[in-house]
Structure 1
């Protein structure tokens, strides 16, 4: 009886079904744990992706990080201070007229609630400053001409018919039309070389007669010729401004750049991101590039380069990647040399840049983007 009981309790005599049931329960529990782990991992990945996308779109900020409005406000205030310092250095007589404009702009920007409001205020300030400086320069030039003419002995003794004199400033010097030679040669040379008169934004007209000097409208023929030349000059300036702003096409020698991901291309630092594109653009413009475009999108002062996941947006439009195609107009040798340090940094993470000099690069005009 004792031996029989011993055999029944021996491990070899245990019912096999009970062992299988325990093994099955363990397997079920392990399967549940695996599903829970996968679910937890999926939640973590989803949370991380949400944080990255929210960070890119500006919905999430790190502790102590400035908002885009704060950065726009601080940058605008710094720009106003720079403008004030520039006026004090270059326009000492016009600072008094410009100070109320600068102070009002600083106060408005400090309480602005949006970047659009800051932009409108800066645009208005720039227009007011331009008008103020223009008026001050014209006044100073007129006063300078009056002082030089009043010292001319020939003018004081002039007895002929009224002489119409037109002075056209050119920035570095001035041209003068005096058909009746009412001014002495010394006065003409002094007016032509005077820097205050040369900076006047407007032509200066005066009439020399027996009764003295008056700053009034003169000969209509002379006026018409001066206006025609001024219109041509303005057209040239507008065309140059449009080209500098990227609003017109640009063609000339330059370089083409192809930015490639690393061969594996899965890790964060192995993919060409917006910071890499911006680094290339900064290097090109620092080397004297006259213009650039990324993926066919012209780069202007308001352009944006952003990454949203695997998509790169330039001017709010998606562009082709791997490679990202960048073109720039400028000195090909200088532009290629400027990209060598960037290429070396790319190589550390497996990315690469191919730069090719081109005798002619065509940049399209900027067009307003948007998805």
Structure 2
């Protein structure tokens, strides 16, 4: 009996081990997929998912502007075109989120402002046609608003508006949509005009938009100046001295490093670092005897590590010529494309 159980166990054991291996392998693949190391065929990466979401947001705002009949406004068209342009230019996950945050908010505010303007024009046009308003002697205030739980509400203390005018205001398709802040119309001896006190809010919104724009420009300037950390897709380049000797032509020189950096910048790199040193407009790369100095700081050699943020494939292909030239002297150039790398900010100079 015992021998029979042993035989059965021996038959089941290999299948059980294979099943356990399959389960572990499957769990490992799913874990790698979850953290973004691998993607299944046809599956989009995080950057493409974010880009698609941003494009859907643009479509939403464009449809909203069309439904509100403000798509023909030049300010709306300009804001839409600017967001589409910035989104197309953004190559990193951080850049796409920044476009959504800054330009998406700006687009929303432009549409809301144009919609407020359109509502005001409609209200003023309807009220101006009312005969009671035309022949009114004195001064009165009419307030029109739209709350979420009710229709268009009209406060007309002097009862200037006719029943026809009231119905036109309450049934207007544009005025019936959404919710909006009260719009006040002052009637003064037959003449009606919008109360200008509301322009203070518009000015505040305009200043907020300008401040956000300046913040965006400042951040972009600081990034290009190398004053902030820069992250995104890119490449890592490693330059190794020739293994055959250590004569002058067998080692990596400062001019070789400069050539690599210049090619990367010409290929559209958003930022470059050598070792832990960020490269900016006035950076220096030079030899001091056997030592290579970057921004007056010695760097590790063999390999010399250069990192660049930008389109990985374009940056890598831009170094084909330099790579082949250095190989003639036995200098090895290793290039790896990466989904996410970080460049340190420019190191502040010591006061010593």
The TM-score by the shorter chain falls in which range? 0.3 to 0.5
Give TM-score scaled by structure 1 length: 0.43
Q: Which has the larger radius of gyration?
A: 1
